């Protein structure tokens, strides 16, 4: 085989063999394919697509391009979730602790956000001292001892994905279901989980705004993961307005602590419970959604989920005092309310526009090498349909410099609309794929 021959076969619409796919992935891992050859293959896949068999083969080859964590010695069932990302989506933090408190181990390898606000790792790193870079052995040991570990992708896990993702980012080949599917699952299945639940978002603040396209991705993820021996379900959730009342890393950690103390925003908890139910059902520690929800709610009422979060922070070197004293999290110099221009109802809160305002403040990154400002963002955000009085705060802007504050303020003034009619957001938890 030669790279150009394999590229030409996919260019001409043929289904690739397992050996051809392994050859391509090996070329991405060991450098035997040049970047321009890898890019040509990615574009051929983008334009011609892949069958379910090809997608599974690509996922398997990418997963095996590095180490695969062996958690077989851990007796507890193991479950994880993956979100395609949204605005204010801090669900992983309370959810992982709640699931672990139910006796199910959560080996979670997460990512950083690119654009908007930060990802799960950025949120966790706003906790002073928190380590997200653990070796596979440290990761395995922590999952065994406390049933919970949230880390970033290690150098050993799916190295082909790091290379191919970087090329996809600069070659216009990001939005391709087979490539997205292989990228997500190669990492998730390498982490050693028994079952997996996906949160696939749609709407204007989502990676895939179109609901039909999001459903296509959800079905592909469920099909490929299940065919590879890891049962999976996916939930379609709406992302037209931000999830919860905060957007920004430290602010979302503080709100996650509220969730674990029974004070979480209703929409955040709705998504958390929906995903948690499916995780417990797949892990076979609950027989019905009602039983699963009861178990999850009990971890909040008893404080065991909160304690599990504290254990994780301690084990990963973080300052656990932030759980009792959230003011120990990074604080912005400027905290300025955005006031309602009139009385009425909140008719719209544009998730994407709020995200871009948070990005302008420094809560996210536009390039992988950018540093995020953990302190900045938006808090006390109003929700669609709520009544509001003139002069009452629509949100509070957390900023560290005046120019960013002024620009974000103008952006948020357009993003949050007050009118005479109540805004009605779409149904939040829309559909379960694979149930």
Active site annotation includes 183:
yes
In whole angstroms, what is the distance from residue 383 CA to residue 2 CA? 56
Span 370-393, average pLDDT: 96
Res 12: pLDDT: 98
The yes-or-no verdict on residue 365 having pLDDT over 90 is no
* Domain regions of the chain by residue span: 3-49, 79-325, 330-419
Span 370-389, average pLDDT: 95
Could you say which of 81, 90, 162, 168 is catalytic?
168
Could you say which of 80, 161, 194, 430 is catalytic?
161
List 334's β-bridge partners, or say none.
399
Tokens 């400002």: give the residue: 373
Could you say which of 187, 188, 398, 409 is catalytic?
187
E strands of 137-194, at which residues?
Answer: 148-152
E strands of 241-392, at which residues?
Answer: 334-339, 344-349, 377-379, 387-388
Could you say which of 76, 82, 112, 140 is catalytic?
82
Could you give phi then psi for residue 94, rounded to 5 degrees?
-70, -35
Active site annotation includes 168:
yes
Active site annotation includes 116:
no
Write the CATH number of the domain with boundaries 330-419. 3.90.1170.30
Residues 63 and 217 sit within 8 Å (Cβ to Cβ) = no
Domain 3-49, CATH 1.10.420.10 — does that match?
no
- Please determine whether the domains at 3-49 and 330-419 fall in the same fold group of CATH: no
Min mean pLDDT across 56-70, 155-169, 270-284 is at 155-169
Q: Would you call 247 helix, strand, or coil by DSSP?
A: strand
pLDDT band at 403 (very low <50, low <70, confident <90, very high): very high
Give the rounded distance of the alpha carbon of 386 from its chain centre. Answer: 27
Q: What is the pLDDT of residues 18-52, one digit of tens each?
A: 999 999 999 999 999 999 999 999 999 999 999 99
**177-190 vs 35-48: helix axis angle to the nearest 10?**
110
Q: 79-325: what CATH class? A: alpha beta
């Amino acid at each position: 085989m030669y790279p150009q021959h394999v590229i030409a076969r996919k260019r001409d619409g043929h289904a690739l063999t397992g050996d051809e796919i392994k050859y391509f992935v090996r070329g991405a891992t060991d450098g035997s394919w040049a970047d321009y050859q890898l890019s040509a293959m990615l574009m051929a896949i983008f334009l011609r697509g892949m069958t379910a068999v090809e997608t599974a083969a690509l996922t398997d080859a990418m997963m095996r391009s590095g180490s695969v964590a062996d958690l077989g010695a851990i007796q507890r069932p193991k479950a994880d979730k993956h979100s395609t990302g949204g605005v204010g989506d801090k669900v992983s933090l309370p959810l992982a602790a709640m699931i672990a408190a139910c006796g199910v181990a959560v080996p979670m390898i997460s990512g950083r956000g690119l654009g908007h606000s930060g990802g799960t790792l950025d949120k966790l790193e706003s906790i002073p001292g928190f380590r997200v870079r653990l070796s596979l052995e440290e990761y395995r040991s922590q999952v065994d001892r406390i049933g919970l570990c949230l880390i970033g992708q290690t150098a050993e896990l799916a190295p082909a994905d790091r290379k191919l993702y970087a090329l996809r980012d600069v070659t216009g080949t990001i939005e391709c279901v087979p490539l997205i599917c292989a990228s997500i699952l190669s990492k998730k299945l390498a982490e050693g989980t028994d079952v997996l639940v996906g949160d696939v978002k749609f709407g204007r603040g989502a990676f895939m705004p179109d609901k039909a396209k999001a459903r296509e991705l959800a079905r592909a993820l469920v099909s490929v993961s299940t065919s590879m021996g890891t049962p999976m379900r996916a939930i379609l959730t709406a992302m037209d307005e931000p999830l919860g009342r905060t957007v920004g890393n430290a602010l979302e950690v503080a709100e996650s602590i509220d969730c674990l103390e029974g004070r979480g925003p209703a929409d955040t908890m709705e998504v958390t419970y929906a995903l948690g139910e499916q995780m417990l059902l797949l892990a076979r520690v609950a027989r019905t959604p009602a039983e699963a929800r009861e178990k999850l709610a009990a971890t909040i009422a008893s404080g065991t989920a909160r304690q599990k979060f504290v254990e994780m922070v301690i084990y990963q070197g973080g300052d656990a005092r932030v759980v009792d004293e959230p003011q120990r999290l990074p604080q912005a110099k400027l905290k300025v309310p955005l006031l309602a221009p009139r009385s009425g109802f909140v008719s719209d809160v544009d998730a994407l526009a709020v995200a871009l305002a948070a990005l302008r403040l420094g809560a996210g990154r536009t390039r992988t090498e950018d540093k995020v400002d953990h302190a900045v963002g938006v808090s006390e955000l109003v929700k669609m349909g709520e009544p509001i009085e003139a002069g009452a705060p629509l949100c509070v802007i957390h900023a560290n410099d005046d120019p960013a504050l002024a620009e974000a303020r103008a952006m948020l003034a357009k993003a949050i609309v007050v009118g005479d009619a109540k805004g009605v957001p779409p149904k939040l938890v829309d559909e379960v794929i694979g149930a």
